[in-house]
């Protein structure tokens, strides 16, 4: 039976009630050999068509890949595909999970923009080779769903944080809750600059989260505060101009983040996290940064 929660008064569990899950141990990345800004599907792409420095983009991508490896993660790399410049943002085409029995499964996305729909089959082929059980969204009530761009796992707990409003349909979370056998806390996004949940919410560990609060409704922030002891807030400038919240904490203690997020980085260090800064300026032109450029896997 699905459990989709949209208000605090619907919460009937505590974090400690949720089943435990292993932390991911592997990273998937897509090489930016065809990355560019070729169309406009978000506010950041405006006036950026043809403006990507492809050599610099590759350097930035390689540096980030090396960063995951330095932290001890195995990194699988797929080639990009001609005509699919945003495939490099491989957080969007799928939502992987690991069942109670340890079986690896994945739900494939339905991309909202026509320009990105062709990415999904290539990512699906990877999962099949890795022996994941592949699932697809059923029925026609779900208009779109963009994977881990909008659906985030609570660190090491059986809980999904799911966003809706711009790229993903609220209706998808009933299916996700049923399929994954976990509750979903659904958050409505309020500003088009924060069109994916991963632009305004970064789950750091079981207790801590980094957010840009203005991207959420008041009820959404109440839900977030109800499940995290430590809520770190990013400023409007760092969240929008530097994609500070599009960071990742793959192990609950190290945070990989766009360079120059001075205020957020100090808050993270004060909270006991190790901060690793990376330049993703070429990818910011397309509306993505560190989190978008990888998929954490088991």
Q: Are 297 and 24 in contact (CB under 8 A)?
A: yes
Q: Report phi then psi at 185, rounded to 5.
A: -100, 115
DSSP code at position 39:
S
Sheet harboring 94-98: ordered strands across? 94-98, 104-108, 133-135
Tokens representing 7? 């208000």
Tokens 């059923």 locate to 138
Cα distance between residue 221 and residue 217, in whole Å: 6
Whether 292 is a known active-site residue: answer yes
In sign, the C-alpha dihedral spanning 139, 143, 145, 151 is negative
Cα distance between residue 286 and residue 186, in whole Å: 26
Cα distance between residue 287 and residue 285, in whole Å: 6
Residue 169 has a CB neighbour count (10 Å cut-off) of 17
Cα distance between residue 286 and residue 84, in whole Å: 13
Cα distance between residue 216 and residue 199, in whole Å: 11
Q: Which of 196, 200, 202, 261 is catalytic?
A: 196
Cα distance between residue 134 and residue 93, in whole Å: 12
Residue of 231, 166, 155 whose CA lies nearest to 195: 166
Whether 261 is a known active-site residue: answer no
Cα distance between residue 156 and residue 19, in whole Å: 8
Active site residues: 196, 292
């Amino acid at each position: 039976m699905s459990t989709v929660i949209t208000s605090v008064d619907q919460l009937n569990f505590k974090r400690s009630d949720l089943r435990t899950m292993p932390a991911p141990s592997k990273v998937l990345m897509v090489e930016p050999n065809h990355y560019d800004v070729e169309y406009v599907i978000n506010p950041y792409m405006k006036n950026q068509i043809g403006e990507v420095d492809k050599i610099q983009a590759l350097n930035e991508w390689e540096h980030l890949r090396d960063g995951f490896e330095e932290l001890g993660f195995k990194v699988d790399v797929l080639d990009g595909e001609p005509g699919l410049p945003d495939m490099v943002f491989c957080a969007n085409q799928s939502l992987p999970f690991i069942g109670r029995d340890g079986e690896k499964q994945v739900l494939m996305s339905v991309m909202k923009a026509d320009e990105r729909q062709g990415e999904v089959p290539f990512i699906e082929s990877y999962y099949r080779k890795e022996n994941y059980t592949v699932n697809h969204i059923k029925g026609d009530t779900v208009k779109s769903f963009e994977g881990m761009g909008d659906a985030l796992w609570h660190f090491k707990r059986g809980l999904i944080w799911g966003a809706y409003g711009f790229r993903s349909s609220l209706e998808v979370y009933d299916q996700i809750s049923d399929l994954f056998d976990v509750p979903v806390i659904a958050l409505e996004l309020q500003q088009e600059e924060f069109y994916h949940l991963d632009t305004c919410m970064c789950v750091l560990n079981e207790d801590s989260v980094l957010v840009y609060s203005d991207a959420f409704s008041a009820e959404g922030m109440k839900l977030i505060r109800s499940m995290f002891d430590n809520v770190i807030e990013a400023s409007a400038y760092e969240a929008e101009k530097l994609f500070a919240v599009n960071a990742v904490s793959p192990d609950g203690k190290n945070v990989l983040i766009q360079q120059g997020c001075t205020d957020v980085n100090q808050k993270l260090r004060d909270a006991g996290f190790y901060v690793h800064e990376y330049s993703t300026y070429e990818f910011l032109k397309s509306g993505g940064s560190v989190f978008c450029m990888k998929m954490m896997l088991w």
